[in-house]
Amino acid sequence: MRNSALRFRHIRAIFCKLPQSKLKLSFRAGKRPRRTARRNGAFRWRRRTACFLARIWAIAVLGAAIFTTALRAQQFPPNNEFGVWGAYSANSPDVYTSQGHIQFGVAAFRYGRLLHKSPSYTIEYTVDVEPVEVSRANVYESCEVLYQGVVQPGYCAIGKQWIYAGGLSPFGWKFNFRPQRRWEPFVACSGGFVMSQTAIPEDIPEATRFNFTGEIQVGMERFNRKRSRAWIFSYKLQHISNGFRSSVNPGVDLNMLAVGYSFFK
């Protein structure tokens, strides 16, 4: 019983760093106060082994805690995104009753809020403020056109003009996949409106300056090591029209290439 107490006192001395003189006194109080050099050497070896194992255990626990924290930080970005982006369309397809042959550029700011995250995907709500939108479109004048073999009054393009506008897209959702990777593919959709100096895409009577916008987007995000910043590269198909609020609704579909840079906090 006394030998067990002496061993416990020795182990406590390893962690509490008791002076060696107290260790010697504790052994002298036992039944066998004198020990041979051989047994003392074996005891010191056990003491060093226990100390070494305790240090290894402490290092392993600390390393596991640091690794777990770093892994969680790498898997998911923070909840808030602040970014800037720009997009440009050199031309537009003349399909689905949309009017082609216009150029369109956008410079915008973005705020995003992470709504859901999992190991395989994330869902984010986005708002885009678009203070600068520029369109290069045709200038039209009244003329007579041949339609289905009948000459009718219409409008003919006589030149080009720059049209300046601004817009807001308050309804946006972005879905990122493989959120633990530095390169993350995503798809997004959004809707909003645009207000221009003159009617777009065609400045003709009954066309409107206020139009609705809708878009779908696919692309990639490239995060830094800390996942605090990211470059964004994407393709966007954007539709602009007045939603048949007047008798004339030309509309336009834009093929846009976009690049952006975001901060996450």
pLDDT digits (tens, 9 = 90+) for 145-194: 777 777 878 777 788 889 999 999 999 999 999 888 899 999 999 999 99
Domains of the chain, start order:
2-74 (no CATH), 77-264 (2.40.160.20)
Most distant CA pair in the chain, distance: 125
Written as one string, the DSSP assignment of 57-121 is: HHHHHHHHHHHHHHHHHHHS--SEEEEEEEEEES-----TT-----EEEEEEEEEEEEEEE-SSE
Residue-wise pLDDT tens digits, 68-115: 555 454 445 578 999 999 999 987 766 555 565 688 999 999 999 999
- CA 226 to CA 86: how far, in whole Å? 24
> At how many degrees (to 10) do helices 37-75 and 2-16 cross?
50
* Element containing residue 46 per DSSP (H, E): helix 37-75
d(CA 192, CA 70): 38
Kindly report whether the global pTM for this prediction surpasses the value 0.75: no
pLDDT (tens digit per residue) in 117-131? 998 999 999 999 999
